[in-house]
Structure 1
Amino acid sequence: MKYEQLAKDIVENVGGKDNIRRVVHCVTRLRFQLKDEGKANTNVLKEMDGVVTVMKSGGQYQVVIGNHVPDVYKAVLEVAGLQAQAPVEEDGPKEKKGLLNGFIDIVSSIFFPVLGVLAAAGMIKGFNALFIALGWLDNTSGTYQILNAVGDALFHFFPIFLGYTAMTKFGGNKFIGMAIGAALVYPSLSTLTAGDPLYTLFAGTMFESPVYITFLGIPVILMSYASSVIPIILAAYFGSKIEKGFKKVIPDVVKLFLVPFGTLLVIVPVTFIVIGPIATWAGQILGQSTIWIYNLSPIAAGAVLGGLWQVIVIFGLHWGIVPVAINNLMTMGADPILAMVFAPSFAQIGAVLAVWMKTKQQKLKSLSIPAFISGIFGVTEPAIYGVTLPLKKPFIMSCIAAAVGGGIVGITGTHGYLLGGLGIFAIPSFIHPTGGLTIEFWGAIIAMAVAFVLGFILTYLFGMGKGRNSEKGEETVVANTANHKETTVKVNNKVVFSPFNGQMIPLSEINDAAFASGALGAGVAIVPSEGKLFSPVTGTVTALFPTKHAIGIVADDGAEMLIHIGLDTVQLEGKYFTAHIAQGDRVEKGQLLIEFDIEQIRTAGFDVTTPVIVTNHERYKLVPTTEKQIKHGFDLLELQAK
């Protein structure tokens, strides 16, 4: 096991395997849920070679590793004996966390595994709609039908996918979760509403619900669960609890089939009888409330509904509003409600565009592009679940922008006159039946533009934290190791000078997978010939490890440098290192920063090969010198702006 020792050190310093309630991983980090975070040695973990940094967020203790985190994760499971306990049973006292952090933690964990496919499906749906609008395809053609199936299948059967990921999150049998989701979208149930109902519950009230079937005499209120989110998440949560209860009482010899048998027999009917109706009635209350507010003040209604629409969609409560809108179209020929929620998708993509432009993390950038494209066509799930909601602030900024857009629709009295497409394809629905482009139509266009621009500006200025690295994405090492203060990046001369006398070798050839893979930044490595480290740039020391073996500097022109003296030298605990500067000091190019005893370090069994990397390398094309033997102060890297 290549990462066995690193895994052992991580497990030991998070408090041991008995302190681990659950561990999962994402793109670059191990995400622990610990029984007692006080037992974790955060400072030790931060200083450990192979660990970028440690973060605490959303009720998780996050150990940032880099691109090789899947291998470290496997090693952690192996050394801690957790490979057969995914996830570990949740017992012991739980950390208290706010409702918002708790909700975002659940959403992030459940949606993260399907984000790539979700974004791809959204793009296919959007482009298919575009091909129809341009006349390139006919909606009766086989090409359209197949593309539509490819793009729409994930959304239609979303409860099945979420059943798997939600059960993973809550610690239940993943295939039980899939079975629950499949039951919710079982095709035959949708045909049962074709005839006359057996009777109607709560007739004459907003909760009026026709009943077409019963379960053991209990009325079942049928609704469409295709594309729904909240019912399956709730069902998976309660299903995981029921499953654990059955595990405790059913003998081991028959657990394999009797536990799923009992769990499904309980949770699926409960979902249809209780969870579904609650979601339906909550939506109906929301729909009636919207009409009441609109009658009081169209501007207020537009701002409230527009601002909250994305939250409403997340909880699946929009199904209570859509029927009200359809009824308005059928009875009055026009509807103001769907007009008020036209702007939010554009506020979303404005926020996503700002994230794409401002983040330095390639993974977030690559996810933002398809999320933006699908959002143009009104498919915003990839944007919400993949980009803005996990980052929190961009989601909030998009809601503010959407509220302004909704208020503009209210001011202009914009109505929709038909059920058109989503996103930009909804624009024709605001054209008055007489064919004139009235103030109502232009109100929708203005609302769309304002929501997009405002979503972008608010997110760019206020939605990414205090600096470029403060978003809840994949943070760079310099930004998270030392209360880093961001500097403004200038696009002028960027030359990094050699900090050592010695021999330069390619970074990929050093005996450290984290640095050699480029996970922590791009650059070169130097085998120093004397124990003196000089500043390669003029700037500010943003990180100086207590062990003095590594230093982070942000140059005045914005380049972020990390110099790690030797490999695994953190284990020397500062022995043989002498620092001549402190964290926060301003340093000049060529200034002596650290002295170290090369011979003593080598005698102790450590490699003195030193990575010299640029952690915000995405901004540059790095051109290293062709010289192999170099001296401090000589050109080492030229950073050409991309």
Structure 2
Amino acid sequence: MNYEQVAKQIIDHVGGEENVKSLVHCATRLRFSLIDHSKADKEQLLKTDGVIAVKENGGQFQVVIGNRVPEVYAAIGKISTILDDTTSTKKGGDTGNSGNFVSRLIDVVASIFTPLLGVMAGAGILKGLLAIATNVGWLDSGETTYIILHAASDSMFYFLPILLAVTAARKFETNPFGAATIAGALIYPSIVELHDSAIDVTFFGIPVVLMNYTSTVFPILLAVFAMSYVEKFCNKKIHEAVKNFVTPLILLVVIVPVTLIILGPIGVYLGNGIASVIQEIFTFSPVLAGAIVAGIWQVLVIFGIHWGIIPIILNNLSVRGEDVIKAVAAPAVFSQAGAALGVMLRTKNKKLKALAGSTSITALFGITEPAVYGVTLPLKKPFIMAVISAAVGGAIVGHYGSVAVAPGAPGLLTIPIFYPEDGRGFVAFVIAIIISFVLAAVLTYIVGFKDPVDDEDTLSNESGSENEVKREDDKKEPSASEEIKSPLKGEVVPLTEVQDHVFSSGAMGKGVAVRPKEGRLVAPINGTVTSLFETKHAIGITSDNGTEIFIHVGIDTVQLKGEHFTSFIEQGDEVAAGDVLLEFDVERITAAGYDVITPVLITNAKQFSNVQTTDKREVTSEDLLIHVIK
């Protein structure tokens, strides 16, 4: 996979770089906060190599990639400025400013915690392995080797407020370095000593109830949220010449004491209260609670609601040193892997068999999205069997009191995070996930599903979600060879000379480019307008014989947002060769800094034996430009 090419296509199809307010990623998804969701083209995204599914949940526009998402995310950082800013400067976006309270809350939580999940998982696995090593006698807690490894595993959790301060600052659009400094003050050695000494602490006579803020979640989130408003107020009122150092001074003098006096204790009491409630629920009926949480967990994941539970899990780990929610949710992951395996064993569709097999393995390592969106959910019954199997496993975990001692996505590699120092419930946990996996596979195989009758990718979007789109490969097969006239008057340029890798590499199709001498674009063939970008800079036409032609006026002209373009057609219109489709102002587009070179591509070139381009150096709208041979 060419990651930079995929990244370029994804950015284009979410409405361009200017439409992206922020971007984070989790284990399988790119999570965009878009300024205008209507500018995103889901259908085109799903035609992009490597894209599994597209969803809108919790105010986020999510592009499901699978386990290659870190590489695509990194490529986006290379070819764009989306990841450059430490705080967002784009305003008016949908995320966080629209939708119901639950959607806004989920978006905030996902944006804050997603960047930390990878290192949390790594540190959690190391913490679990150390617990196993000391329990079986391989290491002693007094050894220097253990001390060094324990520091490596625990530092992330000890300094969690500082890390959360940085990600929260990016979400709340405030200075991340100021936020990290405030978090550092909460766990500064002298403050910790004051807390441990149990002496009376005051701030200018105001009593301060000191808490232990290491590893806490809620206090720093409240502090950074308050900081964002104070910073905006100061920047408006303080003169430009001095605000760069006066505003941070005010933030430190105001927010640190306010957090220690008010916000911090509120956050600690809130966290302790939530932990106590969760503990009481599982104490009342651990079997029922475990079955319910495990049974609905993947449903919560589909709708993004599980993000609202992440802070609770981290808070439980901070307050109690362990968490039962993550433990009872783990069977839901393994049951989806088992259901996908059941599909692989039963289906006679070769493509589905290969997809189910690969996604089953991926799910075993904690990445369930490919299995859910690609296999179990579209087929319905396997998903239901997985839910039932997860509930059985969750009941077992709840009954035996298994817990997680560190964060991390449940999977084969993260099994050590479910090993507490006393080993309590660990064997039962392993048995539970095995049962969930095997039971889901067996039930899926026995109950069955509607098996696709051929080897085409016929899995469609049967989940019923209005916000999810699936890939469909049902394009019309070209019926004959065709001659395609030039849509423009101008100079013919080889595609390899176009200064855009997506076009020059042929990734979008074979063809040629024209450097227009006049801003008039006409239909090159009889057919139907199958796509017309809102910005009017690009048109897709499918000929009456099934040839798919894509015309892109200029490079990066999407950023003009339709300025200097006039369209005379709409998507779905039937056109005849020579009909005027667009007019555009070549001089103004050039003056704005954009190259008007126009690639003309055959996007279904693989369905032809050959695609020949003209030998002429200049063409008019009457001249042959491309000849496709069936």
**What's 1:525 paired with?**
510
* Cα distance, 1:91–1:130 mapped onto 2, change above 3 Å: closer
Instruction: Show the 5 A alignment for 1:304-383.
Output: 314-316=310-312, 342-348=327-333
Distance, in Å, in 1 between the alignment partners of 2:406 and 2:30 is 43
* C-alpha separation in 2, matches of 1:457 and 1:574: 58
Alpha carbons 1:500, 1:533 under 8 Å: kept: no
Q: Select which of 141, 158, 161 maps to 2:160.
A: 158
Give the AA of the match of 1:228: T
Q: 1:91 to 1:304 in 2, by over 3 A?
A: closer
Q: Of residues 242, 257, 272 in structure 2, which corresponds to 1:269? A: 257
Q: From the superposition, tell whether residues 355 and 266 of structure 1 become closer, same or farther in structure 2 (CA, over 3 Å).
A: farther
**Correspondences of 1:503-514 after superposition (within 5 Å):** 509=496, 511=498, 513=500
Counterpart CA distance in 1 for 2:186 and 2:480 is 63
CA deviation vs aligned residue, 1:117-142 (integer Å, no higher than 9, x gap): 55555565566667767877665555
Of 4, 21, 24 in structure 1, the residue corresponding to residue 22 of structure 2 is: 24
Amino acid at match of 2:311: F
User: In 2 relative to 1, CA 469–135 (structure 1 residues): closer, same or farther, beyond 3 Å?
Assistant: farther
8 Å CA contact 1:162–1:233 kept in 2: the answer is: yes
Q: Does 1:544 align with 2:546?
A: no
Match of 2:216, SS? coil
Q: State the Cα deviation string for residues 532-554 of structure 1 (Å, max 9, x = none).
A: 799xxxxxx9x9325862569xx
Q: Is the 8 A contact 1:348 1:455 kept in 2?
A: no
Say if 2:176 is the partner of 1:180. no
In structure 2, give the amino acid aligned to 1:107: V
Does the 8 Å contact 1:344/1:451 carry over to 2? no
Query: Which one of the candidate residues 579, 593, 602 is aligned to 1:610?
Result: 602
Aligned residue type for 1:178 = A
Give the 3 Å change call, closer, same or farther, for CA 274–130 of structure 1 in structure 2.
Answer: same
Residue pair 1:119, 1:371 contacting (<8 A) in 2 also? no
Per mean C-alpha deviation after superposition, the further-off stretch among 93-102 and 66-75 is: 66-75
- TM-aligned CA distance change 1:500 to 1:103, over 3 Å: farther
**Distance across 2 between alignment mates of 1:408 and 1:419:** 18
Q: 1:289–1:403: structure 2 CA closer, same or farther, 3 Å change rule?
A: farther
Measured after TM superposition, the shift of residue 238 of structure 1 is 1.2
Residue 246 of structure 1 aligns to which amino acid in structure 2?
Answer: C
Letter in 2 for 1:509: T
| Runs of at least 5 residues in structure 2 that lack an aligned partner in the other structure | 1-7, 65-71, 298-305, 345-351, 353-357, 408-413, 450-457, 485-493, 514-522, 533-537, 559-564, 587-595, 614-626
Q: CA deviation at 1:239?
A: 0.7
Distance in 2, Cα, partners of 1:30 & 1:109: 8
Instruction: State the partner residue of 1:241.
Output: 229
Question: Which 10-residue stretch deviates more, 604-613 or 304-313?
Answer: 304-313
8 Å CA contact retained: 1:164, 1:174: yes
Q: Which amino acid aligns with 1:110?
A: I
Q: What's the TM-score once normalised by structure 1's chain length?
A: 0.54
Query: Is the contact made by 2:478 and 2:547 (CA closer than 8 Å) also made in structure 1?
Result: no
Q: Is 1:407 aligned to 2:403, yes or no? A: no
Check if 1:278 corresponds to 2:266: yes
- The CA deviation at 1:245 is 1.8
Paired amino acid for 1:610? I
Distance 1:425 1:216, change over 3 A: same
Report the RMSD for the aligned CA atoms in angstroms.
Answer: 6.9
Q: 1:54 to 1:606 in 2, by over 3 A?
A: farther
Question: CA, structure 1 residues 283+24, in 2 after alignment: closer, same or farther (shift >3 Å)?
Answer: closer
Deviation string for 1:426-470 (max 9, x for gaps)?
4587878xxxxxxx88754443435567899999x99xxx96889
Q: Is the 8 A contact 1:284 1:321 kept in 2?
A: no
In the comparison of the two structures, how many residue pairs are matched? 497
Partner of 2:220: 232
In 1, are the aligned partners of 2:294 and 2:393 still within 8 Å (CA)? yes
Structure 1 residue runs of 5 or longer lacking an equivalent are 1-5, 78-82, 199-211, 327-336, 361-365, 376-382, 433-439, 488-495, 535-540, 553-560, 581-593, 615-623, 634-642
Q: 1:596 to 1:163 in 2, by over 3 A?
A: farther
- Rounded Cα–Cα distance in structure 1 between residues aligned with 2:330 and 2:57: 27
From the superposition, tell whether residues 420 and 551 of structure 1 become closer, same or farther in structure 2 (CA, over 3 Å): closer
How does the TM-score come out when normalised to structure 2? 0.54
Q: How far off is 1:101 after superposition?
A: 2.0
Corresponding residue SS for 1:226: coil
Q: CA deviation at 1:241?
A: 0.3
Tell me, in whole angstroms, the C-alpha distance in 1 between the residues paired with 2:42 and 2:404.
62
The answer on whether the counterparts of 1:30 and 1:69 sit within 8 Å (CA) in structure 2 is no
Which whole-Å deviations, capped at 9, do the CAs of 1:311-352 have from their partners, x for residues lacking one? 7862347756986x79xxxxxxxxxx9677633345457669
- In 2, the alpha carbon distance for the partners of 1:114 and 1:340 equals 19
- Contact 1:467–1:486 (8 Å) recurs in 2: no
Question: 2:245 aligned with 1:257, yes or no?
Answer: yes
Q: Secondary structure at the match of 1:251?
A: coil
In the alignment, the residues of structure 2 paired with residue 448 and residue 232 of structure 1 have an alpha-carbon distance, to the nearest angstrom, of: 35
Q: Which amino acid letter does the alignment assign opposite residue 106 of structure 2? A: I
Q: Which has the higher contact order (CA 8 A, sep 6+)?
A: 2
Mapping 1:481-500, distance limit 5 Å: none
Following superposition, the deviation at residue 172 of structure 1 comes to 1.2
Is 1:447 aligned to residue 432 of structure 2? yes
Equivalent residues of 1:282, 1:317 under 8 A apart: no
> Deviation of residue 180 (structure 1)?
1.9
Compute the displacement of 1:175 (Å). Answer: 1.1
Is the Cα–Cα contact under 8 Å of residues 34 and 61 in structure 2 kept in the other structure? yes
Q: Give the 3 Å change call, closer, same or farther, for CA 314–231 of structure 1 in structure 2.
A: farther
Change in Cα spacing, 1:568 to 1:162, as seen in structure 2 (3 Å) is same
Percent identity among equivalent residues?
27
Specify the SS of the correspondent of 2:21: strand
